[in-house]
């Protein structure tokens, strides 16, 4: 039983940034621990074989996921946990990536999909772009970053440049003022670091690299035994700031099966391509051949290689 609880807690902490539906399960049983363990075990009883999980992480630039309707996504990451190897793969998709969005007459930036049709349309846009079978999403807002970072005592990052920017009309308002260098950022400063995008020479690609650095550091910090004890405090912030369509039984099985967590077994990559100025607008144009190679390597068992028509036919 002790090992079961340890496995469950560690599994959750590793995915506290890129998942959250499990909190809903916890809340339903928080008043009765024995009932929680029994119900959780029932969900996974009789399960056999490998059960990988792949989902699209969507970050919205809002204070509350309930207010995210009509908002463009600020972050898109395709995430996979490989049940056989324990490997976590994360592929960042630049927000300016030119893509076909269902229902639109011409190609647009892929982050527009959420504004037109919510997380469901974002999933379809990524599906069509990459030719991959995909159904699940996890949508979070930036408030969860602030709350979680403060709970774990800050995250150490190497700020690549002085960051200064102000936008009182943003939601939430932007007031960024960070100095270059290695430092421990609290929740508020972490938000500033993640939301800053103006000063990177390679535009969104530099920002994605900064996000990867932040995630790696945050996961390592979260696995500190001191922070494992803070699990109950995560509940309130998840209820408000996380939205997912991953079924509870899938989440439960995933949490139980993660036996060991190795922060070195996390692969992060960015969709290959380059920025291009088209019709007075900057787009990110992905390299199709290099993208196919990367997808085959990182997500090789999720119906890779379907053309766009096949993807639409099998995933409508």
Q: What is the pLDDT of residue 148?
A: 82
Domains of the chain, residue spans: 8-154+201-300
Q: What is the pLDDT of residue 254?
A: 65
CA dihedral sign, ordered 47, 17, 55, 247: positive
Q: What is the mean pLDDT of residues 15-22?
A: 41
Tokens of 146: 């602030």
Instruction: For residue range 211-238, list pLDDT tens digits in order.
Output: 778 877 887 787 676 776 666 666 666 6
Query: Which segment of 41-45, 58-62, 90-94 scores lowest on mean pLDDT?
Result: 41-45
- pTM score of the predicted model: 0.72
The CATH code of the domain at 8-154+201-300 is 3.40.630.190
Q: What is the mean pLDDT of residues 28-56?
A: 56
pLDDT(293) > 70: yes
């Amino acid at each position: 039983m002790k090992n079961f609880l340890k496995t469950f807690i560690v599994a959750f902490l590793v995915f506290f940034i890129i998942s959250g539906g499990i909190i809903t399960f916890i809340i339903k049983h928080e008043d009765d621990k024995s009932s929680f363990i029994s119900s959780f075990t029932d969900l996974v009883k009789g399960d056999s074989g490998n059960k990988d999980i792949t989902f699209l992480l969507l970050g919205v630039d809002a204070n509350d996921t309930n207010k995210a309707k009509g908002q463009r996504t600020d972050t898109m990451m395709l995430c996979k946990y490989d049940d056989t190897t324990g490997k976590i793969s994360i592929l960042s998709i630049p927000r300016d990536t030119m893509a076909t969005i269902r229902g639109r007459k011409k190609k647009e930036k892929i982050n527009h999909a959420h504004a037109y049709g919510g997380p469901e349309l974002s999933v379809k846009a990524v599906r069509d772009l990459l030719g991959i079978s995909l159904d699940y999403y996890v949508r979070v807002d930036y408030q969860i970053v602030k709350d979680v970072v403060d709970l774990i005592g800050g995250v150490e990052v190497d700020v690549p440049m002085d960051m200064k920017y102000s936008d009182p009309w943003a939601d939430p308002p932007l007031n960024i003022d960070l100095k270059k260098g290695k430092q421990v950022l609290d929740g508020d400063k972490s938000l500033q670091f993640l939301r800053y995008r103006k000063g990177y020479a390679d535009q969104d690609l530099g920002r994605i690299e900064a996000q990867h650095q932040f995630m790696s550091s945050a996961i390592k910090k979260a696995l500190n035994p001191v922070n494992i004890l803070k699990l109950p405090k995560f509940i309130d912030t998840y209820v408000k700031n996380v939205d997912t369509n991953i079924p509870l039984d899938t989440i439960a099985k995933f949490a139980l099966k993660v036996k060991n967590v190795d922060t070195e077994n996390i692969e992060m990559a960015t969709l290959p391509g380059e920025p291009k100025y088209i019709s007075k607008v900057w787009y990110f144009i992905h390299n199709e051949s290099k993208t196919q190679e990367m997808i085959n390597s990182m997500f090789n068992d999720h119906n890779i290689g379907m053309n766009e028509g096949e993807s639409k036919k099998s995933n409508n």
